[in-house]
Amino acid sequence: MPQQAPRGYRSGVVYFPMQKWLIAVGPSGSDYSSDGGIAWEPISDEGFHAVQMGHADGSIWASGINGKIAKLKY
């Protein structure tokens, strides 16, 4: 059981190797874990439905309702 679970339902997750993070997105926000999913920290309250790592440059992209698209900046 995670010590600190994500803050709600998460519909997508991706591994971000540059920072060794798991990034999870869902309709109520986004979270990340730097310890393999044991503890999660919030990134944003902005809702998304899917997350994917770009193959060309390793960037992280999320998509949501009404055509919303976002790129992770860290």
Phi, psi (degrees; rounded to nearest 5) at 50:
-145, 155
Read off the pLDDT of residues 42-54 as tens digits, 9 standing for 90 and up.
999 999 999 999 9
Q: How confident is the model at residue 3 (pLDDT cuts 50, 70, 90)?
A: confident
**Mean pLDDT computed over 35-43:** 94
Average pLDDT in the chain: 93
pTM of the shown model:
0.88
For residues 49 and 14, what is the distance between their CA atoms, to the nearest angstrom? 12
For residues 59 and 2, what is the distance between their CA atoms, to the nearest angstrom? 26
pLDDT at position 73 over 90: no
